[in-house]
Structure 1
Amino acid sequence: MLKNAVFAIICLLLFSCGKDAAPKPMGDLRLEYPNSGYKEFSSACPYSFEYSGFAKVEEGKQPCWYYITYPKMKAKVFLTYFPIKNDFDLHVKEAEKMVYEHTIKASSIKTKSFSYPVNKVYGNLYELKGQSASNIQFYATDSAKHFVTANLYFNTRPKPDSLAPAVDYIKKDILHMLDTFKWKN
């Protein structure tokens, strides 16, 4: 009996010694971005729109080309402008070519057409899923004189799960940009 009691005490000592239980931290990453607080963009170019106060607008390589930069997200929306000179179809094909060049890495491409007849703004918005270098692209036109394209890029390797909150934030800003987009003439 004494043998059994000693054996039981030794077993208790061996199995009871361990680390104290500690609560595990939450595994979900929570990213919070500030409210956009939109500002109006207007220049000598034939278009205007509202953009996020969280972003900066910088001049691009050509007249009426701009970068809408999100420095804290390492993201840029490349905005390009082309006047239409009997080459409307060429501009549409080129914009779609830019989108579909990403089919190698994109797991899906969701296309949404938009139309704002009051402002004479028409076009397509493309949302690219998967490990695509560009997550959102669009073109906007009045179908007669003006054509604008935009592409969202991040200065990092494409990681869809990690970038999803930033892409959703910028997508909301792009949709607001399209809602407020206007041609000047």
Structure 2
Amino acid sequence: MFKNIYFVCFILILSSCGKDPLPKPSGELRLEYPAHKYQSFNSDCAYSFDYSTFAEMQNAKQSCWFYINYPKMKAKIFLTYFPIHNDFALHVKEAEKLVYEHTIKASSIDTKSFSYPEKKVYGNFYELQGPTASNVQFYVTDSTKHFVTANLYFNSRPKPDSLAPAVEYIKKDMLHLIDTFKWK
């Protein structure tokens, strides 16, 4: 009888041996952001718009160039301004060049044109999918005097799955910026 018990225990011990346990992969935090609220940006520049209260405006090196900084997300929107002097096509070409430089890493680039004739605000909005350095870009123009570009960058390695909630949050802010954009 004891032989049977020892035999069963021996079989159970042998059958319990299997693969070595593997550590769990490190998980990403689930980040939640505040509700979208906006404030007006007015300066001596040729434009104004609303931007998120979750962000901070910072001056860049050039006149009328700004950073919309999201410090808790480690993200920045780079806003650049160019006056148009019979070089409108060149500015559009440069803006599109910045977008299409990411085709090496982008799995897709979704382009949407927008037009607000009553405000003389026209442009393109680009959403880049995949492990790209910039996930969202746009340009805004009145097509005669002013041209503004905006590019979203994160201060981290591009991980589309991990960055997706932050990209979606800031994308809504960028769309609101376009909706409220005005030339002076």
Partner Cα separation in structure 1 for residue 7 and residue 167 of structure 2: 62
SS at match of 2:89: helix
Cα distance between partner residues in 1 of 2:116 and 2:107: 30
What residue is the counterpart of 1:21 in the other structure?
none
User: Unaligned 5+ residue runs, structure 2?
Assistant: 17-26
Most deviating of 112-121 and 62-71: 112-121
Per-residue CA distance 1:74-123 (angstroms, 9 max, x = gap):
11000001111111111101100111111111111110101112211100
Unaligned runs of 5+ in 1: 18-26
| Residues matched between the structures, number | 176
Q: Structure 1 residues 98, 28: CA separation in 2 closer, same or farther (over 3 Å shift)?
A: closer
CA distance in 1, matches of 2:61, 2:2: 90
2:181 maps to which residue? Answer: 181
Aligned pairs (5 A) from 1:29-108: 29-108=29-108
Q: Cα RMSD between the aligned structures?
A: 2.3
* Local SS of the residue matching 1:174: helix
Partner in structure 2 of residue 144 of structure 1: 144
- CA distance in structure 2 between the aligned counterparts of 1:140 and 1:94, rounded to whole angstroms: 13
Q: Distance in 1 between matches of 2:125 and 2:45?
A: 22
Q: Residue in 2 aligned with 1:117?
A: 117
Say which SS state the counterpart of residue 115 (structure 1) adopts. Answer: strand
- Identity over aligned pairs, percent: 72
* Alignment partner, residue 167 of structure 1: 167
1:5 Cα deviation after fit: 5.6
Question: Is the CA contact (8 Å cut-off) linking 2:49 and 2:177 kept in structure 1?
Answer: yes
Q: Could you state the TM-score of these two structures normalised by the residue count of structure 1? A: 0.86
Instruction: From the superposition, tell whether residues 87 and 2 of structure 1 become closer, same or farther in structure 2 (CA, over 3 Å).
Output: closer
Letter in 1 for 2:95: A
Cα distance, 1:113–1:40 mapped onto 2, change above 3 Å:
same
Cα drift, residue 174 of structure 1: 0.2
Cα–Cα, structure 1 residues 94 and 2, in superposed 2: closer, same or farther, change >3 Å? closer
CA displacement 1:25-51 (0-9 Å, x = unmatched): xx7842100112100000000100000
Secondary structure at the residue paired with 2:72? helix
In the alignment, residue 99 of structure 1 is paired with which amino acid?
V
**Greater mean deviation of Cα atoms: 99-108 or 71-80:** 99-108
Alignment partner of 1:129 is 2:129:
yes
